[in-house]
Amino acid sequence: MNRSTASNQAKHGVAMRVLFAAALLFAALIPASLRAQVSSYGDKQMGPTNDQQPTVLNGVGIAQHLNQQLPLQTVFTDESGKQVRLGEYFGKVPAILALVYYQCPMLCSEELNGLTGALQMVNFVPGKDFQVIVVSIDPSEGPELAAAKKRSYLKRYGHPETANGWHFLTGTQPNIDALTQAVGFRYVRIPGPDGKLTQFAHASSIQIVTPEGKLAQYYMGVEYSPKDMLLGLDEASSNRIGSPVDNILTYCYHYDPQTNTHSLIVARIVQLGGFITVVLLGGFMFLMFRKDYRQGHTAPSGLQVHEPKVNG
């Protein structure tokens, strides 16, 4: 290798190190800058912010009422418009209970998506081995919305023959209150900017219920382990009660009536932007290093390499 080639490779190596440092700095600054823009926008719209928990969350949470009997006498309306007693879904097999509302702009869909995805990897069959009971906490919602949600998630689950094991219910405020209080599901109603659109500040969890209608297990958040769900259903089928889990809550609360947005959406966009940045820069750097490696192991055109002669 001549002196000129070595000098060029050294310069190229320095350039690549500079590029690498710049890539890391760029990847770190992009999310930070976006967060700063979000914070600045929020300050302009809502005034000064702080790190304290929003007041609205004082009335939001999930108390784990293990072994609590559900109010099986309460009456709801199913997705077909039929009046049903909650107790009709119990007596033989356990159930998975989800408290949501069907017009929720984000978290409830995430919760039901997580539930459906986990059930796809569980070899128990809805309607045969357990029931899926989804109840709206919004008394203004009716069977039409419930039916649309059932069609959507039954299609997502991929087994239309299990339709009799999926139940999407709506109800009156007294019956909703009786159920949510038994579960320990505390939420707060948030009026919309026009006085009509109503949203709810609430946390996310699903509950496993025994065939007798007693709360056996809570699973927090919006993603659920198929293994844990299988174990929970198996234990609940024998009317065994599980243990409390860490009360790490996922909230749907940061509704801004002036902008009609959720900070969770913004946060995920920021995270996605940072991830894409790292992937793109990482791919570019890989290609550059690969090119440099090939050039370093390829003899220049026209250069002949002679083996040294050995006198013998």
Q: Is 235:252 a contact under the CB 8 Å cutoff?
A: no
Bigger pLDDT: 192 or 67?
67
The mean pLDDT value for 268-292 works out to 68
The mean pLDDT value for 8-37 works out to 51
Distance CA 266, CA 79 (A): 33
Quick one: pLDDT band at residue 283, thresholds 50, 70, 90? confident
Q: Write down the pLDDT at residue 3.
A: 52
Distance CA 95, CA 217 (A): 11
Neighbours of 1 (CB within 10 A): 8
Q: Write down the pLDDT at residue 188.
A: 87
Neighbours of 230 (CB within 10 A): 16
Show the beta-strand stretches assigned E in the chain.
Answer: 61-62, 75-77, 83-85, 95-100, 131-136, 166-169, 185-186, 188-191, 198-203, 205-209, 215-220, 251-252, 255-256, 261-262
12-16, 99-103, 261-265, 270-274, range with the lowest pLDDT: 261-265
Quick one: pLDDT band at residue 57, thresholds 50, 70, 90? low
98-112, 193-207, 289-303, range with the lowest pLDDT: 289-303
Q: What is the DSSP letter of 206?
A: E
Distance CA 264, CA 65 (A): 28
What single-letter amino acid sits at 15? A
The mean pLDDT value for 75-104 works out to 96
Q: Write down the pLDDT at residue 178.
A: 98
Q: Write down the pLDDT at residue 135.
A: 98
Q: Is the overall model pTM greater than 0.95, yes or no?
A: no
The mean pLDDT value for 54-65 works out to 76
